[in-house]
Amino acid sequence: MNQGVVISIRGSVVDVRFDKHLPAIHTLLHAGANQGITIEVLAQQNAHVVRGIALTPTQGLARGMLVEDTQGPLKAPVGKAILSRMFDVFGNTIDQQEPLQDIAWRSVHRAPPPLARRSTQSEIFVTGIKVIDILMPLERGGKAGLFGGAGVGKTVLLTEMIHNMIGHQQGVSIFCGIGERCREGEELYREMKAAGVLPNMVMMFGQMNEPPGARFRVGHAALTMAEYFRDDEHRDVLLLVDNIFRFIQAGMEVSGLMGQMPSRLGYQPTMGTELSQLEERIANTDSGAITSIQAVYVPADDFTDPAAVHTFSHLSASIVLSRKRASEGLFPAIDPLQSSSKMATPGIVGERHYQLAQQVRRTLAQYAELKDIIAMLGLEQLSTEDRNLVARARRLDRFLSQPFFTTEKFTGIKGQLVSLEDALGGCERILNDEFKNLPESAFYMIGKVDEAMAKAASQKQPNSGTNKSPKEHGKTTEGAGHHAA
């Protein structure tokens, strides 16, 4: 047994002297009563002293106390038994259920897959959500950023993606909460259980009140679990990270505590490297793919902030949630004009899909420009051509809304999974004015476009959508939104 002695403590930074053998970087040390304080070695000061950061609170630690070298790094549990469970950064279960059986432990510090093993084919990750699959297709084995404030539907969208991934692609979902509030974790656990998606899901949390060292390592631990399902079980994994900015923030705290010279705006000088070490492990290989959706907080809405700039360089798609669309009852409240994807090129999605997506965007953008004129002068003052464009755009807006499986119990509307072909066909037919005699409300919260006919027949209303004043339009939409909510 290799033992050392604590020689100094400054907050979470602990210096330990070892006379026999100096521990390697990333080694875990145990100290304090019942070895309850865990320290990770981050620097070797000289031939006998190491400097580490505490992953647990340091209350009760004093100079002269004995420290035990575990001779190994931080490890995460892997195996089939971890499914449906909730963990902390050390791999302890925090869901108050029986202890784990038949699991192995792996180091959280792993190298990204070599280029020779990576898939060079760009594949689309089909979510079954119309607006995402048409306008901002996600990459299988890629990373998508999810931007949005509180209450616009980030969690509902993530829950729906988990449901679709598990139910229709036999995949595994891993939720990693970095710097989460305990309320958010508890609510998410209950929602997942109620939605019936917990059996093929793993949750890992590093809460806000935990020391920066623990928050900094929780992402690596979750990725180790994801790599097990990809490499050993050859299953596709959906990794949800909330919030990637807090990972950078924890690294900044650790860097400051270790006495490193701060870089621009106080960020750590090693930010690019640390983020890359995490993001590069998310990849599509010959054995499976880890597809990641990461909630991104942009500090003070400044997209030139170094944290935002470094994160953007890793993302292949951006999904922006709009509070305005949420208030209109158009769920999912994704802003189709602000969101984008690197996959939306003719070489990857095909010429037809690309042209259709461009046409949908163009129609919605022209409608957005006409909104001010409609608000001031009314719809009647527009030319016939513009009136037809507005009618098409409003039908498209409603067609891109979709009932979710995870919200069935709130809305009473059965959830829908829409194939890419059905979604593209629906947009094409709306753009060709095939349904101009149907009311707009027939397209709201449906799956395939054919359902609009049946819905219109059940409503037994003449076409009144395009001739209403903007105020009446607003009322109709808001009413529909409240009904859906």
The catalytic residues are 154, 180-181
In 3-state terms the chain splits into helix, strand, coil percentages (rounded to 5) of 40, 20, 35
Q: In the structure encoding, which two tokens stand for residue 338, read together?
A: 């602000």
Distance of CA 443 to the CA centre of its chain: 28
Q: Which of 239, 241, 179 is nearest to 206 (CA)?
A: 179
Looking at residue 285, the DSSP 8-state letter turns out to be: B
CA distance 148 to 253: 25
Given a contact cutoff of 8 angstroms between Cβ atoms, the answer to whether 446 and 452 are in contact is yes
User: At which residue do the structure tokens 């901002």 appear?
Assistant: 136
Burial of 69 (0-12, 13-18, 19+ CB in 10 A): buried
User: What sign has the CA pseudo-torsion 98, 104, 107, 110?
Assistant: negative
Per the listing, tokens 């607006």 go with 131
Q: How far is CA 188 from CA 67, 365, 413, in A?
A: 38, 35, 22
SS3 337: coil
Read out DSSP for 10-46? ETTEEEEEESS-PPPTTEEEEESGGG-EEEEEEEE-S
What is the DSSP secondary-structure string of 144-204?
Answer: EEEE--TTSSHHHHHHHHHHHHHHHH--EEEEEEEEE-HHHHHHHHHHHHHHT-GGGEEEE
The owner of tokens 């040390």 is: 29
